[in-house]
Amino acid sequence: MSGLLVFGRTGQVATEMARLAPDATFLGRDQADLTDPAACAAAILAARPVAIINAAAHTAVDRAESEPDLARAINTDAPAAMAQAAAELGVPFLHISTDYVFDGSGNRPWVETDATGPLGVYGATKLAGEQAIAAAGGQWAVLRTSWVFSAHGANFVKTMMRLGAEREELRVVADQYGGPTPAAAIAAACLTMIAAMQADPAKGGIYHFAGTDDTTWAGFAREIMSQAELACKVGDIATSDYPTPAKRPGNSRLDCAAIARDFGIARPDWRAALTDVVTELRT
């Protein structure tokens, strides 16, 4: 899409978006550092785009616990500045958020209107970003997704394939539930949404989008080992057996009915997408 400005160039979702929208302009850290929100706004006002997507974020969930100011600048203040600049230009702004805005209680898939309750700095700064975007006054959408994977960047699939080639057995948490989501499907969903927003100024708001069907990290790991033909066994453990600096939600299931209803976007089959990613990683 010509005239589309995307923050993020090297990330999982941005890399897939560049494949689908080669005409768009992608700003990397060297052109727009998200620790400098004013520079992000200035980049928008200088480019005068027809639409804006933010695919950049501080995504190191554990590291965010020890660098909350940096996480807040990147995940809250920068998207807030982008949304304000978008509102000033009168163009739609789409931002990507996360299942980690929820507290993980219960076992019902979360709907967009459910109460949030982030357990860590990453989720809290992403939630504050959502709220600042909604307050900016322009046309905006927030796509909350979960457990993103692709052949690029850092993700659970690549970690499991690396560890699975080195070890005979891995212990993986089996009490956190969610939907692994291919970055390629998120990129496609973002492009569909932003085009629909351009066509209809009334469109926008918060939407959930995740791969189907829901599983656990252990279930995801077993499928990765199987598809990558790694003999490594995956043993189920509880969250309490795998201590991490950041707490993670037990229930990350996202109800994706609204995005299907309003944008015609269906949940992607993560197992089929995993086959493509494993093939890409091997070649």
Ligand X SMILES: NC(=O)C1=CN([C@@H]2O[C@H](COP(=O)(O)OP(=O)(O)OC[C@H]3O[C@@H](n4cnc5c(N)ncnc54)[C@H](OP(=O)(O)O)[C@@H]3O)[C@@H](O)[C@H]2O)C=CC1
Ligand Y SMILES: Cc1cn([C@H]2C[C@H](O)[C@@H](COP(=O)(O)OP(=O)(O)O[C@H]3O[C@@H](C)C(=O)[C@@H](O)[C@H]3O)O2)c(=O)[nH]c1=O
Contact pattern for ligand X over residues 38 through 57, marking x by CB under 6 A = -----------------xxx
Question: What is the set of active-site residues?
Answer: 122
Restricted to residues 121-180, the positions that interact with ligand X (CB under 6 A) are: 126, 145-148, 153
Residues of this chain that bind ligand Y (CB under 6 A): 59, 61, 98-100, 146-148, 156, 159, 170-173, 176, 217, 242, 244, 248
- Contact with ligand X (CB under 6 A) among 13, 80, 94, 230: 13
Please spell the DSSP secondary structure of 130-179, one letter per residue.
HHHHHHT-S-EEEEEE-SEE-SSSS-HHHHHHHHHHH-SEEEEESS-EE-
Counting every residue, how long is the chain? 283
Nearer to ligand X, 90 or 245 (CB): 245
Nearer to ligand X, 13 or 232 (CB): 13
The tokens describing 174, both together, are 């089996």
Nearer to ligand X, 129 or 138 (CB): 129
The rounded distance, in Å, linking the Cα atoms of 281 and 278 is 5
Nearest Cα residue to 144 out of 254, 16, 250: 254
Q: Which does 14 bind (CB under 5 to 8 A by kind): ligand Y, ligand X, none?
A: ligand X
Interaction of residue 26 with ligand X, rule CB under 6 A: no
- DSSP letter assigned to residue 75: I
Contact pattern for ligand X over residues 64 through 83, marking x by CB under 6 A = ----------x---------
Give the list of residues 6+ apart from residue 168 with CB closer than 8 angstroms, or none. 231, 232, 233
Contact pattern for ligand X over residues 91 through 120, marking x by CB under 6 A = -----x-x----------------------
The tokens describing 33, both together, are 């550092």
Burial 12-33 (b: 16+ CB within 10 A, else e): bbbbbbbeebeebbbbeeeebb
Nearer to ligand Y, 43 or 71 (CB): 71
The tokens describing 100, both together, are 């980690």
Q: Which does 10 bind (CB under 5 to 8 A by kind): ligand Y, ligand X, none?
A: ligand X
In 10 A of CB 208, how many CB atoms? Answer: 25
- Contact with ligand X (CB under 6 A) among 6, 59, 164, 217: 59
